[in-house]
Amino acid sequence: MLPQEVIRAKRDGQMLEPGHIAGFVQGLCNGTISEGQAAAFAMAIFFNGMSRNEAVALTLAMRDSGTVLDWSETAGGRPVVDKHSTGGIGDNVSLVLAPMLAACGAFVPMISGRGLGHTGGTLDKLDSIPGYTSQPGLGQFRKAASAAGCAIIGQTADLAPADKQLYAIRDVTATVESVPLITASILSKKLAAGLGSLVLDVKVGSGAFMATTEDARALASSLVSVANGAGLATSAILTDMDEPLAPVAGNSVEVLNAIGFLTGAERCARLRDVTMALGCELLCLSGLAVTAHDALQALEQSLKTGAAVECFARMTGALGGPADLVEKPGSYLEVAPLEVAVYPERAGYVSSIDGRQIGLAVIELGGGRKRPEDKIDHCVGLTRLAGRCEQVDRDHPLAIVHARDRTSADQAVERIRQAYTIAAEPPERRTAILQHLKADDI
């Protein structure tokens, strides 16, 4: 079918055949389809959506546009698993969950992203470790994953290149916010990474891309349905992002927080709840645990025995980081020269937090990018972020700003004050886990 006929059919709300979708994706990669045609195709999908079969066909065609990794020789019989988050603030789950799963017998080749919009990126956080190679060649990736049971790296150019091309076009044609396009984009990369099972952390709230539970549920349903349709055992958990997940936001500060979690020096309850829920789901999906209770015990043991922090140390070491990073994180993770405490204008309880403003404060400090080519300042960020229901006053700040200079610190202080609403009474508590979504629920 001619590309313009494929676009016309989708424009008019018709169902596309898998072969037509595959042909279009091939054409995008070999240059026989123009950027204009790809943009029109994306816009037609934006307005008319896709059926589950169409979205599965698009996902598989994008997966097959590049290398599909095969871990059968490297994983040594261990189930190959991963988790994906739709992005949030203070979300360093990947840094702690990957080594915990590895310590429980899983093989975790995790392909992570950089910061997107106001949210932080796992890869940017790892880049604050001196020497860590976040974009290694396939050989080093395999070696590190084999040695540690987990390795967290960035997307390579040969994994789902059609997604890279289409994403760049969507980014400048107002077609990012389409559920089938987001679904195919995320899952094509996960399928190309050669996984056996996947759990999705779909965030809801002011610090997430999906502000409402309805929108988040629609995305989660699509992801779970299409992933399973493409042969990848997947479930999702909707989690609350109406406040930062950990009381820190930035790069070095989040790595420090993750190391503190793994060693037991500091374990915040919300980060723990979400990590455990995602881990239990994945251990059960992959067959490493029979019940959620067994899975929880295995994850707890991985922390208690030090096996998880050992996997983290092996992973960072194998990817070029310091051998004694977990023993002496303060010697390696750079700290910003200026620390400023942000106090509330009046004493009371935190009743709501605009998570997006917190993310923007980190970007303005230099911890995120304003333009794609910007370099990140890894040492800046926020710590001791007060959570919902917490009491704040002259002795208990909203946050500590870690800044490079006075001007950026003042700007962050202002943004943080705006992000927090203080009330005389504490609001009702909310749990971090909102809903589980399994293939059978859809």
Nearest-5° Cα angle at 249, 242 to 395: 85
Let me know if 146 is a catalytic residue: no
Q: Spell out, one character per residue from 300 to 339, where the chain touches ligand URA: x when CB under 6 A holds, - when not.
A: ----------------------------------------
Which residue number, 168 or 338, has a Cβ lying nearer to ligand URA?
A: 168
- Neighbour order of strands in the sheet with 249-250: 249-250, 381-383, 399-403, 338-342
Cα 406 to Cα 420: distance, rounded to the nearest angstrom = 21
Residue 199: φ, ψ to 5°: -120, 140
Which residue number, 58 or 434, has a Cβ lying nearer to ligand URA?
A: 58
Let me know if 370 is a catalytic residue: no
Q: Spell out, one character per residue from 174 to 213, where the chain touches ligand URA: x when CB under 6 A holds, - when not.
A: --x----xx--xx---------------------------
User: Within a 10 A sphere around the Cβ of 240, how many other Cβ atoms?
Assistant: 23
Residue 323: φ, ψ to 5°: -65, -30
Is the CB of residue 270 less than 8 Å from the CB of residue 246?
yes
Let me know if 170 is a catalytic residue: yes
Name the minimum Å distance from CB 318 to ligand URA: 26
Given 84, 272, 314, 415, the catalytic residue: 84
Name the minimum Å distance from CB 175 to ligand URA: 9
Given 86, 94, 112, 122, the catalytic residue: 122
Query: Kind and range of the H or E element at 391?
Result: strand 391-392
Cα 226 to Cα 228: distance, rounded to the nearest angstrom = 5
Given 118, 189, 356, 415, the catalytic residue: 189
Which residue number, 181 or 437, has a Cβ lying nearer to ligand URA?
A: 181
Is the CB of residue 104 less than 8 Å from the CB of residue 316?
no
Window 100 to 139, contacts with ligand URA (CB under 6 A): none
Let me know if 430 is a catalytic residue: no
Q: Across-strand partners of 401?
A: 340, 382
Nearest-5° Cα angle at 294, 290 to 296: 125
Given 119, 185, 197, 222, the catalytic residue: 185
Window 157 to 176, contacts with ligand URA (CB under 6 A): 167, 176
Where residue 153 falls (left for φ over 0; alpha for ψ -120 to 50; beta otherwise) is beta
Which residue number, 85 or 235, has a Cβ lying nearer to ligand URA?
A: 85
Question: Tokens standing for 440?
Answer: 């059978």
CA distances to 15, 361, 365, 415 from 407, rounded to whole Å, are: 55, 12, 9, 13
Given 59, 85, 156, 206, the catalytic residue: 85
Let me know if 217 is a catalytic residue: no
Given 10, 78, 83, 402, the catalytic residue: 83
Cβ partners under 8 Å of residue 423, min gap 6: 348, 349, 351
Let me know if 122 is a catalytic residue: yes
Name the minimum Å distance from CB 123 to ligand URA: 13
Let me know if 85 is a catalytic residue: yes
Cβ partners under 8 Å of residue 395, min gap 6: none
Window 12 to 41, contacts with ligand URA (CB under 6 A): none
Name the minimum Å distance from CB 84 to ligand URA: 8
Given 20, 63, 170, 270, the catalytic residue: 170
Residue 407: φ, ψ to 5°: -60, -50
Name the minimum Å distance from CB 354 to ligand URA: 21
Which residue number, 92 or 185, has a Cβ lying nearer to ligand URA?
A: 185
CA distances to 7, 178, 270, 372 from 170, rounded to whole Å, are: 15, 10, 34, 15
Residue nearest to ligand URA according to CB distances in the complex: 185
Name the minimum Å distance from CB 112 to ligand URA: 11
Which residue bears the tokens 């589950």?
52
Name the amino acid, one letter, at 372: P
Task: Work out whether 241 is an interface residue with ligand URA (CB under 6 A).
Answer: no
Which residue number, 93 or 186, has a Cβ lying nearer to ligand URA?
A: 186
Which residue number, 167 or 343, has a Cβ lying nearer to ligand URA?
A: 167
Cα 56 to Cα 68: distance, rounded to the nearest angstrom = 16
Given 64, 82, 201, 354, the catalytic residue: 82
Size of the site for ligand URA (CB under 6 A): 6
In the complex, which residues of this chain contact ligand URA (CB under 6 A)? 167, 176, 181-182, 185-186
Catalytic residues: 82-85, 122, 170, 185, 189-190
